[in-house]
Amino acid sequence: MATALVIGGSGQIGRAVVPALLDDGWDVRVLARHDADVGGARLVRGDREDRDALDEALAGGVDVLVDVVAYDDRQATALTERADRIGSAVVISTAGVYVDDAGDGFESDEFGSFPVPLTEDQPTVGPGRDSYATGKVALEQAWAASPVPTTVLRPGAIHGPGCVQPREWTFVKRVLDGRDVRVLAYDGLSRFHTTSTAVLGELVRLSARQPGDRVLNAADPQALTVAEIAAAVDAVMGVTSRLVTVPGGPVDGVGLTPWSVPRPLVLDMRRAQDELGYVAPGGYADTVGACVEWLVEAAAARDWREAFPGFVRMEAMGDFFAYGAEDAFLARTS
């Protein structure tokens, strides 16, 4: 039986990747720092920075290594130094690496003006360790320079159970708080392509079966507008909200969401279809239910700021729940 090692297999992406590999007949090991339920996989306790833990996880060699949590080239080095024990690799990067012809992207003062749809041939930021995007490019390049056949996956806005940075909480919390209106900037037309963890699970499964050196976008079949995302989340929760749109960007939090971008990011999925025979496991409306249900359960068990620390960090963008400013805006425009 072929062997797979998943680093980060107990987290959000791992929850989809591990069962996808198990169902496909792989003998799966999961390297994780803490005890975790990994289904029928074998749990190897340890930190990826611990050389002994890596040696244990790679004992006897693995046919495929799947790394869903690496940030830059430093996380690749310890693994590529053990390339003789790795048949192939699948590494999760991000669509945040892309820039437009002017060099603008996700981390620049001006959000990029990307072609629609955006292919894997689009330029990226340079490699580095000073930001999320530059670190991911350094990670990609470290694996590309290794002798290990490596598939790099570039997802958009990830959604699925187990997320510590769940963008969908923006709308789920509003339902729980009894808010029956969705105020959305950019006329509610922002398109920031979403990626279900089910999509990533399927792409990892296919990539593991067909090793090769490639870079692939990883996204849901359609890039919904933020208004369509709001409606899909509402539908899962059994409510219908009133939609109010703002023509420009968010002001004092009014209209702000994690998908609020002035220009679209739409990822082209044709390369995955052509190279892997990829067929999407469902659209956003088909897959977001599992995420929403998990969010409701997690928020009921403890304070949401403890449950979703990554979402708290996202509040550097602004207050996603600026209800006072929102009510004042609605009063002025009603």
Q: With contact defined as beta carbons under 8 Å apart, do 179 and 81 qualify?
A: no
Q: With contact defined as beta carbons under 8 Å apart, do 276 and 207 qualify?
A: yes
The answer to whether the Cα torsion of 197, 202, 203, 209 is positive or negative is: positive
Q: Which amino acid is at 177?
A: D
Domain count of the fold of the chain = 1
Q: Which of 236, 253, 254 is nearest to 244 (CA)?
A: 254
pLDDT tens for 18-56 read 999 999 999 999 998 888 888 899 999 988 989 999 999
pLDDT tens for 239-288 read 999 999 999 999 889 999 999 999 999 999 999 999 999 999 999 999 99
In angstroms, the CA 271 to CA 278 distance is 9
From the CA atom positions of the chain, what is the Rg in Å?
20
pLDDT tens for 151-182 read 999 999 999 999 889 999 999 999 999 999 99
The reported pLDDT for the residue numbered 9 is 85
Residue 135's domain is classified under what CATH number?
3.40.50.720
The reported pLDDT for the residue numbered 259 is 97
Domain hosting residue 249, numbered range: 3-333
Tell me how far CA of residue 277 lies from CA of 46, 83, 150, 203, 271, in angstroms: 35, 27, 17, 10, 9
